[in-house]
Amino acid sequence: MTTQFHHVPVLLEKSMKYLSLAPGAVVLDGTVGGGGHAESILERTAPNGILIGLDVDQDALNASRRRLKVHGDRVHLIQTSFRKLDRALDEVGIHRLDAVLLDLGVSSHQLDSGQRGFRFSESESEATPLDMRMNPEQGQTAADLLNRASATELQGWFQNYGELPGSRRLAKAITESRESSPLKTNADLLRLIREAGIGRGRHHHPATLVFQALRIAVNDELGALEEGLEAARTRLKPGGRLVVLSYHSLEDRIVKHTFRRAAKGCVCPPKQPICTCGKMPSLRVLTRRPETPDALEIESNPRARSVRLRVAESIEEVRPS
Ligand SMILES: C[S@@+](CC[C@H](N)C(=O)[O-])C[C@H]1O[C@@H](n2cnc3c(N)ncnc32)[C@H](O)[C@@H]1O
């Protein structure tokens, strides 16, 4: 079935500027989605540049396949997580990259697809299954986690990934309620959030934080990011660019710290007078502060509101003589 894929690429011009693309460049888009950024990458690397596009979501890959068809065999699309980008590159016989783009999180298309369960509805009559998997064929659903995880695990996710006031209370409400009837739909979860008095009197709907926390846990988004950044770093040619767009403070923190660590090199304890680890800097950070969108972009695409763009450039590792 061909459905329209709705997603407006965020910070498109800035992303392209920082990717610093030339004709013939070999680029990995680790989150190809609907192919918005990928299309611009292919235009800038024509006539012979190569794009490797990864996504865990088959719907997204189908949409980008249609959109990028005109570029023929310059495009390789693979259904996999960017945490496994090494294996994907080996599959297509590419070793080194001129640039990598990671545009994290979910697409507007995924958010708007009711049956995927990323979005909650105020109306219990519009109950949708608690799924939230970016690859709906793999892994545990949000309902699985809610019905199987311990109260401590649930509380940890709500607290760490959602900074939810009342995390403990909600975890307890869930583990008690599921004894008589397992959670199945977002309406079940919304009812428990309400009954546990979570976020009473707060400006934001507390379910926003709960759903965000669950989505991060279901897809192990932070673990994938750590592994993906590390793999991308080691595949870049000297001078190659790594551009990351994150939409959550925890993601942005991981990107910032990974870049800083790689830019520093040495990991010896600060009090140690002489370096014994021998690690050399492998990245140069190009964004001291993250880039953000202007008011115009936020107005036309509210999804851009929380984005933070960070960029690093690969430098040749110099081993001490
Ligand atoms: C914000 S959208 C990307 C939109 C894309 N830049 C565009 O212009 O159309 C994020 C995409 O990344 C995918 N995704 C999220 N985590 C992923 C991962 N670990 N590996 C591969 N794809 C992932 C999602 O399925 C989604 O399609």
232 and 190, same structural domain?
no
Q: Please say whether the beta carbons of 183 and 130 come within 8 A.
A: yes
- Is residue 211 domain-resident? yes
Percent of the chain with pLDDT over 70: 94
176 and 227, same structural domain?
no
What was the pLDDT predicted at 201? 57
Q: Please say whether the beta carbons of 230 and 244 come within 8 A.
A: no
265 and 285, same structural domain?
yes
Nearest protein Cα to ligand 1, atom 15: 105
Ligand 1 atom nearest to 228, measured from its CA: 19
240 and 201, same structural domain?
no
Ligand 1 atom nearest to 54, measured from its CA: 21
Tell me phi and psi for residue 237, to 5 degrees.
-70, 160
95 and 152, same structural domain?
no
103 and 240, same structural domain?
yes
- Is residue 140 domain-resident? yes
User: Per-residue pLDDT averaged across 44-51, rounded?
Assistant: 98
207 and 270, same structural domain?
no
User: Per-residue pLDDT averaged across 282-305, rounded?
Assistant: 96
CATH number, domain with residue 204: 1.10.150.170
- Is residue 208 domain-resident? yes
**Using one digit for the tens of pLDDT, what is the confidence trace for 72-122?**
999 999 999 999 999 999 999 999 999 999 999 999 888 888 788 888 776
Average confidence score pLDDT of the chain? 92
Residues at CB less than 6 angstroms from ligand 1: 7, 9, 30-31, 33-37, 54-57, 60, 81-83, 103, 105-107, 134, 224
- Is residue 3 domain-resident? no
153 and 209, same structural domain?
yes
Tell me how far the alpha carbon of residue 56 lies from the centroid of ligand 1, in angstroms: 7
Identity of residue 318: V
Identity of residue 243: V
Spell 125-134 as b/e; 16+ CB within 10 A means b: eebbebbbbb
Secondary structure class of 102 (helix, strand, coil): strand
The last residue of a domain, from among 184, 218, 252: 218
What was the pLDDT predicted at 238? 97
- Is residue 321 domain-resident? no
Closest to 101 in 3D by CA, of 30, 207, 205: 30
Which residue from 56, 79, 110 has its CB within 8 A of the most atoms of ligand 1, so it is best to mutate?
56
171 and 28, same structural domain?
no
**Using one digit for the tens of pLDDT, what is the confidence trace for 206-253?**
788 999 999 999 999 999 999 999 999 999 999 999 999 999 999 999
213 and 251, same structural domain?
no
What was the pLDDT predicted at 253? 97
Ligand 1 atom nearest to 34, measured from its CA: 9
* Number of domain units in the chain: 2
The last residue of a domain, from among 161, 188, 218: 218
236 and 213, same structural domain?
no
Tell me how far the alpha carbon of residue 131 lies from the centroid of ligand 1, in angstroms: 17
Ligand 1 atom nearest to 31, measured from its CA: 12
The boundaries of the domain holding residue 187 are: 135-218
- DSSP for 232-280, please give it: HHHHEEEEEEEEEEESSHHHHHHHHHHHHHHHH---S-TT-SS--S---
What was the pLDDT predicted at 1? 44
Tell me how far the alpha carbon of residue 315 lies from the centroid of ligand 1, in angstroms: 27
21 and 170, same structural domain?
no
CATH number, domain with residue 86: 3.40.50.150
The last residue of a domain, from among 218, 250, 266: 218
